[in-house]
Every structure is written in C-alpha cells, then in structure tokens.
Amino acid sequence: MHNPENINKQIYRLALPNIVSNFSIPLLGAVDTALMGRLESASYLGAVGIGGIIFSFIYWGFGFLRMTTTGLTAQAFGEKDLRECGRLLLRAICIGIISSLLLIILQWQLIDFSFLLIDTGSDVEHLARVYFHIRIYAAPATLCLHAFHGVFLGLQNAHFPMVLTVVVNLINVALNLVFVKLLGMKIEGVALATVIAQYIGVFLAILLFWRHYRGLLTPLRMREVLVLSKLKRFLSISGDIFIRTCCLVFSFAVFTAKSAALSDTILAINTILLQFINLMSYAIDGLAFAAESLIGKYKGAGDMPNLKRTTRQIFFWSFLFGIVIMLIFVLFGEQLLRLFTDQIPLIVQAKPYLLWITVAPVINVAAYIWDGIFLGATASKALRDSVVLSTVLYLVAIYLLMPFGNHGLWGALTLLLIARGVSLTVLAPKYLF
C-alpha cells in the first residue's frame, strides 16, 4: 500500500508535466487572439473566436479518443496487462483515422451547419469559413495525437504528452508569427500554422513511442486489436464521453452565439475573457489528468484504499491551486486584458466582467477534478447523465438571465459549472466507492 505522502509524490510527478503542457495550449489561443486583435478590423478577432468554437465542437467531440484510451490503458497498466496497452493505441488510431477522413469529406456540410447555429456578421462568417477550410486538413494528425496522449497518460507517463504539447504549440506559435508578421498573411496564416504543427507532432509521437514502448506492439496481430467485445466496450465508453463532450462544447457555442447576438463588441470581449477561462481550466486540468492516470491504475489493480486517498489528495491540491489562480486574476486582471488587445475601448468595456473570471477558479474546480476521476474509473454513464442535466439547467438559465445582458450570460455559464460539480459529487458514492 502507498501512504498519502507517496500518493502526493505520484500526483506531483503526473500533474506538473500536465500543467506545463496544458499551459502551452491556451498560450497558442492567446497568440492567435493577440495577433488578430491587432489587425485593422475586429472581424478577424471574432472569426478566430467563431472558428475556435467550431473546431472545439469537432476536436473536443472526438476527445473521447484520449479520454477513453487513458482510462482503459491505466486500468490495463494496473492489471499489469501491457500488451492490452499496445492494442488500445492501435484501436484508438484506427478510429481516429476513419473519423478524420469523414470530417474532411463532410467539411462543407459541417461549416454550413455551424452557421445555421451561429448568428454573426457576414465579414466574420467569411473569415471563419476561410480559417475552417484550411485547418480541417489537420484532422488526421490531431485525432492520432489524441490516441498517443491517452496511451502515454495511461502508462503513467506525463512527460511525453508534455513534450508533444509544448513542441507542437511552440512550433505553431513560431509559424503564426512567421506567416502573419513576416509574410503578411492574416487568418490563413493562423490556420496553416496549426496544420503544419499538428503533423510534426504526430511524427514526434511515433518516434517517442517506437523508441520507448515498441515492445508493447510486438508480437501483435490485428485480430487482437479488433476483438469485437473490446471494441464494443471502447465504443460504449466513447459514446457516453462523446455525448458529455458535445453537451459542453454546445454550451460554449451557445455562449459565443449569444455573445455575437448581443453585439460584435461583446463577442470580441467574451472571446478575450474566455482565454482567461482556458488558462484556468487547462491549469487545473493538469491535476485532473493526473487523477485519470492514478484512479485508472488503482481501479485496474483493485486498490480501493489508494483510490480513495488519491481522490482526497487531488481535491486538496486542486482547491489550493484554484485559490492561487483566483488571486492572480484579482491582482493582474486588467494587465492580462492588455496582453490580448491594445484597443482601449475593448479593455474598458471588458473590466466589469472580470468579476466572473475572478470567481471561476474556485467555483469550477469540482467539475474539472470529478471529470478526471470519473474518466479514470471509466464511469462514463455518470459523466454523461451529469452533463446532460447541467446543460438543461444552463439553457433554462440563459433564457431567464439574458435580459440582464452579458452579466446574465456569464451567470448562466457559471451555473453550468456549479451544476456539474454538485451532480458528480452526488453520483460519486454510487459509481466510484
């Protein structure tokens, strides 16, 4: 048995690389926002926000490739069935490649459907379409990276995902600056940079896996990978997670669409403020990813005492981390706004809404960490049911609070996160302990 001190060491070992890698993800979005926010028209900034939401629908929707793979791989690792870990990687890659080819084939239908849901100006829509039709060709690389991240985390290795994420995002940022600042490209440069960086990331992932884990693949027959019962379990868990993720992405899409309906200025403000939410969520998700790895391992090993200890310790460190992030937002909120735009009217109009950003790190912790714990335990039905209920409450809140303008919009989004945290807390004893 591990004592709580050793569990803390395992949490640090897994969480710190995840936090570093996750911080590089919103850095990319922040650079995109900053570059577009300094062009001559606010339409570029709005288009990046809209384009980002559309790809959130797609790539967050297929986030089950990483999440399902992490949970199942961690459980196989806890059971000491390392060959199954190799099979899980190949299953996830097969599903990812097939899915990405379908996305590319259906790209025109996807973008047309997106703008049936999102009401915005014609300039923003045109630029967002340009962005979409370039970036969609990164789909095979992006979904394969989901699979590699999932297996590495399941194998209790957070360092390789950190290397992959940081390298990919630094390359992306560098290419953004080259294409936009040096070559004079605009939104096309931002999209092309993402495509190139993603394929470089897949090449690096293959190199890392082959160098350190190729023994998991040999000898391995494809009929072992495509065992029907294993595929059905993978797809069943993935289906629940897909519904859960689509609800969350839909909720943020509604938020962006309602922002656009209020005004182009509010859309620009909320695009910037959502970068704060991304910074906070990706930081705390570093601990949630550690929870996925450790909870899955202890469930696979049948070690309930350490599963419970890990849950307690993860929550302790997460709330402490949330308080630190909240203090950073309190002290430096206005300065952070200036990182994203140099337009003084936008900064002035955004300041009243910093209140919602300030309270978010502590309020949202429970939802993020329970997500990681339930994913590690592959308790996917509970996650699905929780988020469906929370989304219904959110839509009701949107309807009731929209008369209060942008404050009402942020109040509804905050309620969504509270509802997720509370419902998962209620479901935890039944599904986990």
- Phi and psi of 210, rounded to 5°? -65, -35
- What is the structure's pLDDT at 1? 45
Instruction: Identify the DSSP state of 52.
Output: H
Give the count of domains, the chain: 1
What confidence tens digit (pLDDT) does each residue in 40-68 have? 555 666 677 777 778 877 887 788 899 99
Phi-psi region of 321 (alpha: psi -120 to 50; beta: other; left: phi over 0): alpha
- Phi and psi of 119, rounded to 5°? -100, 115
CA distance 405 to 393: 18
Name the 3-class secondary structure at 120: coil
Report yes or no: 27 and 339 within 8 Å, Cβ to Cβ: no
Instruction: Identify the DSSP state of 80.
Output: T
pTM of the model: 0.84
Q: Which domain holds residue 87?
A: 4-431
What number of helices (H) and strands (E) belong to the chain? 19, 0
- In the chain, which residues have pLDDT < 70? 1-5, 23-46, 119, 220
CA distance 207 to 373: 30
Tell which residue, 364, 353, 415, 354, has the closest CA to residue 390.
Answer: 415
- What is the structure's pLDDT at 124? 77
Name residues whose C-beta falls within 8 Å of residue 392's C-beta, 6 or more positions apart in sequence.
Answer: none
Burial group, residue 112, by CB count within 10 angstroms (0-12, 13-18, 19+): exposed
DSSP string, 155-176: TT--HHHHHHHHHHHHHHHHHH
What confidence tens digit (pLDDT) does each residue in 380-410 have? 999 999 999 999 999 999 999 999 999 999 9
Tell which residue, 351, 378, 379, 368, has the closest CA to residue 418.
Answer: 368
CA distances, 54 to each of 29, 123, 173, 246, 256 (Å): 14, 17, 20, 11, 10
My answer on whether omega of the bond before 305 falls inside 30° of 0, hence cis, is no
Tokens matching residue 425: 């807390």
How is the chain split among helix, strand and coil, in percent rounded to 5? 90, 0, 10
CA distance 413 to 260: 16
